[in-house]
């Protein structure tokens, strides 16, 4: 019976999605916690899951049965989360412009911005894409090839951006360290 075959296919698809969702839900949740407003995270995660469900056939390296290669599927899934996050930000931006007629030029504030102001400021000097590349390296622990898959850049482009961004951050933070040291030793820098 034709409908029996459809039934089996649908079952198999559900099972594949089930396995994928269980493997990636927590990493995706952390990814969004790091970048979105706390009250938006659950909605964006749900939206991400919906896209994964619809585009299940596009997930690279997803076979039957449990997910055996998390590192194979995770970058692609981060990419989907990133897209949903930027949709949400755009929707926010539209709402603000409509309601308050302000243009947002500053990047959205990162969670926990009050602590470690120098590092936050240093990150703020990076372009949005460079910042994302650095954070995917530092927080998600991805390799340049994996970062390429998340962002749509080539692995080469990622390596170059990552290298430059790290140098820039290091230089800024070193300078801040020197400034602080000089201040403590009373070398007469008048910031007061």
The answer to whether 40 contacts other proteins (rule: CB under 8 A) is yes
CA-CA-CA-CA torsion sign (111, 43, 84, 72): positive
Q: Does 77 bind other proteins (CB under 8 A)?
A: no
Q: Where does this chain touch other proteins (CB under 8 A) — which range of 17-25, 69-77, 143-151, 152-160?
A: 17-25
Task: Tell me: does residue 142 bind other proteins (CB under 8 A).
Answer: no
Q: 67 or 135, CB closer to other proteins?
A: 135
What is the Cα 10 distance to its own chain's centre? 31
Does 108 bind other proteins (CB under 8 A)? Our answer is no
- Binding status of residue 104 toward other proteins by CB under 8 A: no
178 binds other proteins per the rule CB under 8 A: no
DSSP string, 1-54: -HHHHHHHHHHHHHHHHHHHHHHHHHHHHHHHHHHS-GGGHHHHHHHHHHHHHH
Spatial contact of 149 and 76, defined as CB atoms under 8 Å apart: yes
Q: Is 110 in the site for other proteins (CB under 8 A)?
A: yes
Of 93, 100, 85, the residue nearest 29 (C-alpha):
85
Residue placing its CB nearer to other proteins in the complex, 100 or 186: 100
Would you say 60 and 169 are in contact if contact means Cβ atoms under 8 Å apart? no
> Are the C-beta atoms of 109 and 115 separated by less than 8 Å?
no
Residues near other proteins (CB under 8 A) are: 1, 3-4, 6-8, 10-11, 14-15, 17-18, 21-22, 25-26, 29-30, 33-34, 38, 40-47, 49-50, 52-54, 88, 91-92, 94-95, 98, 110-112, 115-116, 119-120, 134-135, 138-139, 166, 169-170, 173-174, 177
């Amino acid at each position: 019976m034709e409908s029996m075959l459809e039934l089996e296919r649908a079952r198999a698809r559900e099972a594949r999605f089930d396995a994928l969702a269980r493997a990636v839900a927590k990493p995706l949740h952390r990814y969004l916690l790091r970048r979105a407003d706390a009250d938006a995270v659950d909605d964006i995660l749900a939206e991400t899951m919906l896209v994964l469900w619809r585009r299940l056939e596009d997930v690279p390296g997803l076979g039957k049965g449990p997910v055996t290669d998390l590192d194979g599927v995770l970058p692609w899934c981060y990419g989907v989360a990133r897209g949903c996050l930027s949709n949400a930000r755009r929707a926010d931006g539209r709402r603000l412009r409509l309601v308050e007629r302000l243009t947002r030029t500053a990047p959205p504030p990162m969670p926990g911005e009050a602590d470690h102001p120098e590092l936050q400021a240093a990150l703020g000097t990076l372009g949005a894409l460079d910042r994302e590349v650095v954070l995917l390296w530092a927080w998600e622990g991805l390799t340049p090839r994996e970062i390429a898959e998340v962002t749509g850049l080539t692995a080469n482009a990622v390596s170059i951006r990552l290298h430059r961004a790290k140098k820039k951050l290091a230089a800024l933070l070193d300078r801040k360290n020197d400034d602080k040291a000089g201040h403590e030793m009373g070398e007469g820098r008048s910031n007061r």
